Amino acid sequence: MHAIRRRFADDANDWAREHKAPRYILDLILSVVDVSVWTVEIMDAASKLKFDFAE
């Protein structure tokens, strides 16, 4: 269990400060939301597709 905690020791806030990117976490969250919205739209469109498997 201790090894798992060490692997995730990096802090996103520290990374943002080091790279002078104060919006990093906000941009990351917005990216996740954007991908989620696109996924819902793709799945909605895919559910309306009709396939003819007759050979």
Take residue 33 and report the two structure tokens written for it.
């939301």
* Inter-residue contact 25 to 12 (CB < 8 Å): yes
Instruction: For residue 8, tell me if it sits in a domain.
Output: no
Instruction: For residue 12, tell me if it sits in a domain.
Output: no
pLDDT tens track for 10-40: 788 888 888 899 998 899 999 999 999 999 9
Question: Please, which residues have CB within 8 angstroms of residue 21's CB and are 6 or more apart in sequence?
Answer: 15, 27
Take residue 3 and report the two structure tokens written for it.
């090894």
Instruction: For residue 31, tell me if it sits in a domain.
Output: yes
Which residue has 């989620």 as its token pair? 36
Full residue range of the structural domain in which residue 30 is found:
23-47
> Which pLDDT belongs to residue 4?
56
Instruction: For residue 29, tell me if it sits in a domain.
Output: yes
Instruction: For residue 36, tell me if it sits in a domain.
Output: yes
Instruction: For residue 52, tell me if it sits in a domain.
Output: no
Instruction: For residue 34, tell me if it sits in a domain.
Output: yes
pTM: 0.60
Domain count, the chain: 1
